[in-house]
Each structure stands twice: as C-alpha cells, then as structure tokens.
Structure 1
Amino acid sequence: MKTKKTIGRIDKLDLPELGLVKVQAKIDTGAYTSAIHCSKIHIEKDKDGTDLLVYTISAKRLGQGMKAKKFKTSDFKLKRIKSSNGQVQERYVIKTKVKIFNKIYNTEFSLSDRSHMKNPILLGRKLLSGRFVVDVTEENLSYQYHQK
C-alpha cells in the first residue's frame, strides 16, 4: 500500500517550468482541477498559423520580489469547469509540473482570474487523490519539509 503524505489546508509550492517559487496555494478537496491566477488570457496565432495560448501571471499575487511573467504555449486545451459558485465555465487548461515535499508531479492547471481569492493557486483532487491526505488544522507542511 502506498503511503500518503499529509498536507495542510494552505501550503507554499514551486512551479519549476513557470519559474515560480514559494507561491501560496489553497488545498481544496472540493475542486477537481487545480487552478492558477492569470490575467490577459487570449489566443494568438504564431507565424505558422498555430494557436498559441498567451497568459500573464501577476507579480503582486506571487509574493515578494517576483515580477509579472508572460507565457505562450501551444500545449493547451479548453475544458468546461464548474466554478466555486456552481456555474460551468469554459477555461483554458495547461500542463505543468508542481513541486510538493521535494517531489515533482505532472498536473493540469486551469487558468482563471483569482484576483478576488486569497490564494493565487488552488490544488484540486486530480492532483491530491492517492498521494495526499489533507489535515485542515495544518499549514505549510511541504514548505517546512523543503526548508529542512
């Protein structure tokens, strides 16, 4: 039987492919898909006519010393996702890596405007299932583990 790590309700994590470190995330077993706060989300065509998803991750949502980062990718899809208020929305979804407890996981993040939310990242069940047990009385367990 595979041992599951205990993770708290809030943690700081890294997204190495996006160059993001120690970004605060809410652990949410009620959400299926993970989400990351982005703005200026749109499609552009490259010189070959391929669709590119363009998005910006805001600096003020990432913490001290971070600058806004603009990304372009052709590896994306459009998915129907139920938001926290129960409405179904179409959102762009990207694949990237997330580092938790010094281990790298491949996962998907939907891009959404989380400016009205406290945490710029939400980790959902798709990533958590089979890997983690959530203890809502704890915070930053992965971050503390990383500091050792």
Structure 2
Amino acid sequence: MIPFKGECRAPSRVLSVGLSALFIVMLSSYSFASSDTPGKVIAGWVEKISIKNQSYALKAKLDSGAKTSSVHAENIELFKRDGQRWVRFQLLLEGAEGAEGEIETLTLEKSRVRRVKIKEHDGDHDSRPVVELDICFDGRPYAVEFTLTDRSAFIYPVLLGRRFLAGVAVVDPEVTFLTQAQCR
C-alpha cells in the first residue's frame, strides 16, 4: 500500500513520541511542589507563624541548617510542678491583624521536654530548655519543639529548623511570606 500525501509512514514512532511527551509532562508536574496538594508546602525563607489561639504573628526564619527550632523567650524560669520539670517564660507577640506595631507579652508555662546543648559560633556550648508549642504554619496546626533562648540580637524571633521542616515545607530562598500565619 502506498501512503497518501500527509499520511504518517511510521504510526508506531508517532505513538512512541506522543507517549514520551505525555510521560515528560506528567513527570514535570510532579517536580513542582504545590500548596494546593497534601504534603509539603512551598514556603519562603521567612514566613509568619502564630501561636495557636493567638491573633498575633511571629516572623520566622526557615533554616535547614539548624536541627532544632528556637524562639525568642524572656524571663525564663525553671521550676518543678508535681515532681515534673516545667518552664515559665514570656513571648513577645507583635502585629495582630489591624494592630501592626503593637506588642503583647504572652506568659506561658510548659513542661520541659528536655535540655539541649547548642554549639555556638565561638565554639562554646549553651544549654537550653526545650518545650513543645502549638503553632500555626500555612494555616495548619503543628506541635513543635522549640529551644527557649534570647534571640534579641537576631532579626527574626523564631527559627524553624530541620526537625520541623522535614515533611512539612520546601523552602524557596528567593521569596518570603508565601504562607498564612493563622490556623484555618
């Protein structure tokens, strides 16, 4: 049989190329994380989080180089309650919706999860208490372990480390503030 002008001589080759193109399109859609799908969200290197049930937000630096998350805390007091180790501390919460620039002090008492030794840049070690805080990140609640420390010398009062970021977010270092701070 002689093919007519415009007919394809190799239908299997056309089918193969078409299937390959379809496969590439499907793979490329999986290479980009989407905040509309369950799983990891794309987040900027700085995001806002909130303490659950609080309208105030905290700016957080997302840092895959840090293992444990940390939060700026003041007036840290260690004490015992019913034989258990507890920590009383204050967080400075800033900028509720419609109240930008205002600062509220939130005093919390939490059971101490553990203590960690943090190696500082000068080689010294700092021992810090670790507590679990309920936060909102990208509109969802999370229970996250934080070291309590004086972060007043840093721009951002919260640092979210690898333990939190793993399984939750992919960080885009070119952008900031892609997520919402309050829980839905």
TM-score by length of 1: 0.81
- For residues 48-83 of structure 1, the C-alpha deviation after alignment (integer angstroms, 9 at most, x for no partner) is 554431111135xx3433321222223432122334
* CA–CA distance in structure 1, aligned partners of residues 131 and 55 of structure 2: 15
Contact 1:53/1:76 (8 A) holds in 2: no
Deviates more, 1:66-75 or 1:78-87: 78-87
Aligned length: 141
- Partner amino acid, structure 1, of 2:56: V
1:6 aligns with 2:42: yes
What residue is the counterpart of 1:56 in the other structure? 90
Larger RCO of the pair (alpha carbons < 8 Å, separation 6+): 1
TM-score by length of 2: 0.67
- Deviation for aligned residue 1:120: 0.5
Contact 1:41/1:54 (8 A) holds in 2: yes
1:71 aligns with 2:108: yes
* CA–CA distance in structure 2, aligned partners of residues 84 and 99 of structure 1: 30
Question: Where does structure 1 lack aligned partners over 5 or more consecutive residues?
Answer: none
* CA–CA distance in structure 2, aligned partners of residues 85 and 10 of structure 1: 26
* CA–CA distance in structure 1, aligned partners of residues 121 and 45 of structure 2: 17
* CA–CA distance in structure 2, aligned partners of residues 130 and 108 of structure 1: 15
Indicate the SS of the match to 1:126: helix
Relative to its length, the structure with more strand (as a share) is 1
Where does structure 1 differ by over 6 angstroms across 4 or more consecutive aligned residues? none
1:38 aligns with 2:73: yes
- Deviation for aligned residue 1:134: 0.7
1:29 aligns with 2:71: no
Question: Where does structure 2 lack aligned partners over 5 or more consecutive residues?
Answer: 1-29, 31-37, 96-100
Indicate the SS of the match to 1:68: strand
- Partner amino acid, structure 2, of 1:57: L
Determine what percentage of the aligned residue pairs are the same residue.
Answer: 28
Distance 1:44 1:3, change over 3 A: closer
* CA–CA distance in structure 2, aligned partners of residues 86 and 128 of structure 1: 26
Indicate the SS of the match to 1:53: strand
Indicate the SS of the match to 1:30: coil
- Rg: which structure is higher? 2
